[in-house]
């Protein structure tokens, strides 16, 4: 890396350092990623191993988050659940952003009847409350984690498509596109090499914010019974199972939910922070 | 204006048609078999056949779809596989509960959200501002179903202050049905017991459903107002010696309404989806729970009906928002060019 490059990096880091909320977000997300990467090493117990002697025990020195009705250690289950949630969040957003951006860019770039048809379909999909669409898709595909991911991706695709189309339409009037065209650059090459890289920034910001939201929706589907199936330690499914025991234990419900909240908060803080760095006008919000 | 509203309502028809086709497609993509779910896995194969014929599931998909659309035009939504009643009767029974819950939550979101946002914006970087910002960060990140369960544990199981589910006490007969909304019916008929009981029952689910939305409205209100606080006409108003409350309400808030309204439209859409989860948590006898039950049973008639209602409500709320733009900002007019500013 060149000296100038290093200096640029340092300046970026300093800018990040001046945003305490962004730093908090980064710390949270890094923590969650570490948990998701090394759940076995970090959890004190096996998340699937039941121990009926220690059923539904309140938080203690041995079990920081208490135990569930099968005597399984909740802390270990919450740690292992991070992997399910993180993977779901990233895969859904990646799929939706990739497919959605492609569809939106092509529709905006080529215009005409193709654009009309695609955007009408997008309108219909967006006019649907997304939780309901996700539920219908997940139920139709059959309750499983993979199907939850597919369902949530389909729900997000039209939102990225609409955004990317707007970006491309806006960028098409800019001078660099005009000059590329004047130089005789082919249409496909203009789209891929000139337009897409310049339109990518908002997608990245939206993507970061959406990882958190996706984690929440995946948990909601798990809660309804459409997501990951037991005994897999998914946060939403754990809360759903805890419903039968709320008379006897507060911890069984509390800790998995807290994990969802913290994860979601972390990604939101990063998304907000990046947006402020890129566009200082929104910083005061 | 009227022409604009009519055009928007007409545009709803193709959207609904596409929505029906979409749900129909999804449900027939399903590897699951509603008949199998209904009769159980161990029934006589002949029973499956009979059921299929009875429900018309033995015909090709496009025939089923055309039959459904034909019936739909005549206002016949079919019979629910889950309840065995006409879907339209189910809607009549469940929709008012959802409408009551959603309107209450929307009211809470807007009133509390705007109030918090305004306070936050006129006193930036004070305790009020900081706590509003922290609350709104947490609000957006809090899972609805989790918050609901925690509040039930605290206020129902531990403290016993509030009922833990349902629309009205089991020992309280609901008020005479006029609108189907218990609060309004109780008020109109002067049935104070029913009014009190249903108000208590509405409190927790309404708040839980509104929680995240309050945060979103507060955030956008604050941002929108801060964008206006420094403008010349606000300074002019202050320089004229107007009272601060007047500057805030007449000069700043009036001009900050447009982004807030946009957010309210979005919030309304989110509330419908959130109502599903909230209703499950609080055993609220509304469309959301009905939709979950129907979805689990792959009962396409009930799901399509729910989709139609949800989409219509969503579109209507957005229409109301668009019409209100013109009311809030007289520069926006829908009567001139087609397409307009909407």
Lowest mean pLDDT among A184-193, A226-235, B56-65, B243-252: B56-65
Dist CA B116 CA B136 (whole Å): 10
Chain A's closest residue to B30, CA to CA, is A140
Q: What is the pLDDT of residue A9?
A: 77
Dist CA A191 CA A168 (whole Å): 9
Q: What is the pLDDT of residue B336?
A: 54
Q: What is the pLDDT of residue A96?
A: 94
Mind giving me the DSSP string for B77-123?
Answer: --B-TTTSSBHHHHHHHHHHHHHHHHHHHHHHHHHHHHHHHHHHHHS
Please tell me what DSSP assigns to residue B250: I
Is A183's pLDDT higher than 70? yes
| CB atoms B310 and A129 under 8 Å | yes
pLDDT tens figures, A47-70: 888 888 888 888 888 888 888 888
Is A100's pLDDT higher than 90? yes
| CB atoms B314 and A127 under 8 Å | yes
Q: Which residues of B touch A142 (CB under 8 A)?
A: 30-32
**Shortest Cα–Cα distance, B142 to chain A (Å):** 5
Is A108's pLDDT higher than 70? yes
Dist CA B123 CA B111 (whole Å): 18
Q: What is the pLDDT of residue A284?
A: 47
* A94-112: average pLDDT: 90
- Top residue of A128, A211, A245, A252 to mutate, by most chain B CBs within 10 Å, is A128
Q: What is the pLDDT of residue B32?
A: 66
Helix/strand/coil (H, E, C) string of A220-234? HHHHHCCCCCCCCCC
Residue with structure tokens 């805030």?
Answer: B248
* Secondary structure of residue B329 in the 3-state scheme: coil
Please tell me what DSSP assigns to residue A67: B
pTM value?
A: 0.84
**Shortest Cα–Cα distance, B201 to chain A (Å):** 19
Residue B256 contacts A where some CB pair is shorter than 8 Å: no
Residue A220 contacts B where some CB pair is shorter than 8 Å: yes
Q: What is the pLDDT of residue B31?
A: 65
Cβ-based neighbours of B308, under 8 Å, separated by 6 or more: B16, B19, B20
Q: Which residues of A touch B150 (CB under 8 A)?
A: 250, 253-254, 257
Q: Name the percent of chain A lying above pLDDT 90.
A: 24
Q: Name the percent of chain A lying above pLDDT 70.
A: 95
Q: Which ranges of chain B does DSSP label H, i.e. alpha helix? A: 2-29, 34-39, 45-55, 61-73, 87-122, 127-141, 144-151, 182-189, 192-229, 232-239, 244-246, 254-281, 287-296, 300-328
Lowest mean pLDDT among A96-105, A127-136, B281-290: A127-136
Q: Which segments of chain B have a pLDDT < 50?
A: 337-342
Q: What is the pLDDT of residue A276?
A: 78
* A255-284: average pLDDT: 82
Closest to B230 measured CA to CA, from B119, B114, B122: B122
Q: What is the pLDDT of residue B63?
A: 81
* A229-253: average pLDDT: 86
């Amino acid at each position: 890396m060149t000296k100038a490059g290093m200096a640029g990096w340092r300046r970026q880091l300093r800018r990040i350092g001046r945003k305490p909320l962004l730093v908090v977000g980064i710390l949270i997300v890094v923590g969650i990623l570490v948990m998701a990467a090394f759940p076995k090493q970090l959890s004190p117990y096996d998340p699937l191993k039941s121990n009926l002697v220690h059923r539904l025990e309140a938080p203690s020195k041995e079990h920081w988050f208490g135990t569930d009705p099968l005597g399984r250690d909740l802390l270990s289950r919450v740690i292992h659940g991070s992997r399910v949630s993180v993977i779901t969040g990233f895969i859904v957003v990646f799929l939706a952003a990739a497919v959605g951006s492609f569809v939106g860019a092509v529709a905006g770039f080529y215009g005409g009847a193709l654009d009309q048809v695609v955007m009408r379909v997008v309108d219909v999909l967006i006019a649907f409350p997304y939780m309901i669409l996700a539920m219908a898709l997940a139920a139709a595909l059959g309750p499983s984690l993979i199907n939850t991911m597919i369902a949530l991706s389909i729900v997000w695709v039209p939102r990225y498509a609409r955004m990317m189309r707007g970006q491309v339409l806006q960028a098409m009037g800019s001078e660099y596109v005009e000059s590329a065209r004047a130089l005789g650059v082919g249409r496909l090459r203009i789209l891929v090499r000139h337009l897409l890289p310049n339109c990518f920034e908002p997608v990245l910001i939206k993507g970061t914010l959406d990882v958190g939201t996706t984690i929440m929706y995946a948990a909601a589907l798990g809660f309804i019974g459409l997501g990951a199936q037991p005994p897999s330690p998914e946060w939403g499914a754990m809360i759903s199972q805890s419903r039968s025991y709320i008379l006897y234990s507060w911890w069984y419900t509390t800790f998995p939910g807290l994990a969802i909240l913290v994860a979601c908060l972390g990604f939101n803080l990063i998304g907000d922070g990046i947006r402020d760095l890129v566009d200082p006008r929104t910083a005061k919000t | 204006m009227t022409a604009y509203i009519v055009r928007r309502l007409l545009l709803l028809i193709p959207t609904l048609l596409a929505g029906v086709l979409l749900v129909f497609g999804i449900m027939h993509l399903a590897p699951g078999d509603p008949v199998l779910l209904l009769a159980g896995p161990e029934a006589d194969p002949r029973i499956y056949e009979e059921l299929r014929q009875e429900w018309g599931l033995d015909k090709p998909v496009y025939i089923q779809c055309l039959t459904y659309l034909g019936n739909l035009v005549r206002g016949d939504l079919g019979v629910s596989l889950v309840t065995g009643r006409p879907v339209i009767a189910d809607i009549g029974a469940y929709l008012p509960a959802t409408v009551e819950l959603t309107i209450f939550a929307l009211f809470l979101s807007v009133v509390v959200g705007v109030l918090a946002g305004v306070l936050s914006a006129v006193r930036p970087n004070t305790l009020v501002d900081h706590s509003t910002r922290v609350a709104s960060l947490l609000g957006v990140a809090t899972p609805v179903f989790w918050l609901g369960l925690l509040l039930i544990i605290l206020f129902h199981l531990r403290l016993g202050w509030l009922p833990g589910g349902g629309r009205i006490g089991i020992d309280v007969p609901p008020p005479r049905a006029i609108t189907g909304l218990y609060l309004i019916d109780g008020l109109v008929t002067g049935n104070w017991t029913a009014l009190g009981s249903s108000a208590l029952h509405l409190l927790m689910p309404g708040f839980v459903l509104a929680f995240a939305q309050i945060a979103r409205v507060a955030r956008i209100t604050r941002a929108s107002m801060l964008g206006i606080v420094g403008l010349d006409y606000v300074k002019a108003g202050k320089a004229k010696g107007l009272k601060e409350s007047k500057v805030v309400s007449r000069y700043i808030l009036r001009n900050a309404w447009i982004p807030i309204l946009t957010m309210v439209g979005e919030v309304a859409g989110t509330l419908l989806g959130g109502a599903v989860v909230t209703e499950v948590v609080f055993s609220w006898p509304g469309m959301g729970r009905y939709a979950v039950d129907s979805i689990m049973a792959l009962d396409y008639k009930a799901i399509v009906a729910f989709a139609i209602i949800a989409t219509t409500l969503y579109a209507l709320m957005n229409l109301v928002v668009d019409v209100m733009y013109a009311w809030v900002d007289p520069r926006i007019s829908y009567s001139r060019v087609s397409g307009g500013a909407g």
